[in-house]
Amino acid sequence: MRGFQNYIRDVIQELRKVTWPTRDELKGATVTVIIFTLLSTVFVGVVDFVLGYIVRLVLG
């Protein structure tokens, strides 16, 4: 049990050292992630469609 308490104390000490992002930085990062996710989804969808079309052509 003593080891677990030391672990929790160390985690709390390390979290105090973290430089947390500002609200504006967080908004910017969130928008970036959402845009990247949407673009990746569109890319994978287009590749899937094209490859499916090619397979249908080959297999008849």
Mean pLDDT by 10 residues, the chain (60 residues): 92 94 97 98 98 95
Residue 14 lies in a domain: no
Residue 6 lies in a domain: no
Domain count, the chain: 1
% pLDDT > 90, the chain: 93
Residue 16 lies in a domain: no
Domain that residue 59 falls in:
21-60
* 21 Cβ contact partners less than 8 Å away, ≥ 6 residues apart: 29
Residue 60 lies in a domain: yes
